[in-house]
Amino acid sequence: MELAKRRRAHAARLDLSTAQVAVLDGQAHAARALWNLLHEYATFRPGRLASLKDCDEAIRVARREIDWMGQLPAQAAQAMLKTYRQAWANFLNPDHPARRPTFKSRSRSRMAVDVPQAQHLNIVRLNRRWGLVNLPKAGRARFRWTKDLPGVTKGGPTGRITGARLVKDAYGWHLVFRTEALAEPAAAHPGPQVGIDRGITVALALSDGTNREHGHWLTPGEKEHLRRLEQKSARQRRTRTPGRPVSKRRAVDWQHQTTTELARTFSVIKVENLSIAAMVRSAEGTAEAPGKNVRQKAGLNRSISGEAWGRTVTLLEYKTADRGGQVVKVPAPGTSQTCHRCGHRDAASRAGTVFACTNPECGWVGHADTNAAININNADGTAVSGRGDLGNARSAKRQPPRAA
């Protein structure tokens, strides 16, 4: 049986000295500045965008003439150019949701540096918990060993490391390995099918009547710490993203655990095909036509963004594919207003978390999110991952309602 390539990313925490942190910080700032210079060079000129050759030559000239540009390794600079050109290609592709490339802000952009050549990493395992890796211009550094790396670990998965990316967050610098493992194609998943409704009151409501919910992202102590930081930020007049505080690490951890459990249990997972960017668009309007209920809509937008619906589906896509399952996106309109038992559609049937069918011949009453999840499970859609051809360009018409 021919082995399939499985590309994944694995993040490992780095244990750096103060000098190494300073080196990587300098590289990250240089990378951000290079992006801004590329954007200015490619767009602030008459005629068409600058070509790849022109941009490459401009980078070489800048590295010779600007001292601080030398902090960024040459291969990282070339990787930045490829990333920038790919951002334009994504934007110009009508089928891609990417927005137009713009300048990167020092305060809002993520600090990151690419390490495109895997052979320069020279990875060595020290013991069960730690490994050594080469970082360009920063020297040897220890990293936390939490997972077997293809082509490195003896007896581990067959494959290789194709590159890496240095990323800094609130917890420090991490090294994200890009791996390519060889594995046998997953057998068909034997589990049942399920529909999932993503919400705010209930995080994930399943068509089998169960829910997947999370608690508060922050503990009382973390809330108090965040409150003090926000007061300090306000005094210094620094901008911050508005919205309720969310511990991203806890949110991601809950999403990983929940999506893994769902991918192991179900063979086909159906979700709504939502345009989340349109859903969280501001309601402010214009001076000539001001919006209505702006503050209420802003609160709803923050709640939707805090649930990270898009990331949930992204995680489900690759996890179900690894296990022989499939994720299917179905049309969203009407799923929360239609009775799954009789097919009667009426916006008045839903009141908060309760759905009461207004059809006098039906009268079904139950949880609104569960009703929506059953409708999602009963609908045709387009497969976005996994096996089979469930979504092979079939029309998005609903199937006849099924009995509860």
For residue 103, give both structure tokens. Answer: 């300048």
Q: Are strands 268-272 and 193-198 parallel, antiparallel or unpaired?
A: parallel
Query: Model confidence over 333-368: pLDDT tens digits?
Result: 888 889 999 999 998 898 888 999 999 889 899 999
Query: Model confidence over 5-37: pLDDT tens digits?
Result: 888 899 999 999 999 999 999 999 999 999 998
Query: Using 50, 70 and 90 to split pLDDT, how confident is the model at 140?
Result: very high
CB 197 within 8 A of CB 361: no
b/e 130-143 (16+ beta carbons within 10 angstroms → b): ebebebbebeebbb
What pLDDT does 58 receive?
Answer: 85
The span from the CA of 217 to the CA of 127, in Å, is 34
For residue 150, give both structure tokens. Answer: 């293809």
Query: Model confidence over 265-313: pLDDT tens digits?
Result: 999 999 998 887 777 777 776 666 777 777 777 777 777 777 788 888 9
Stronger pLDDT, 28 or 66, i.e. the higher one: 28
What pLDDT does 245 receive?
Answer: 47
The span from the CA of 370 to the CA of 372, in Å, is 5
> Which residues, in sequence order, are CB contacts of 16 under 8 Å at separation 6+?
24, 138, 141, 172, 173
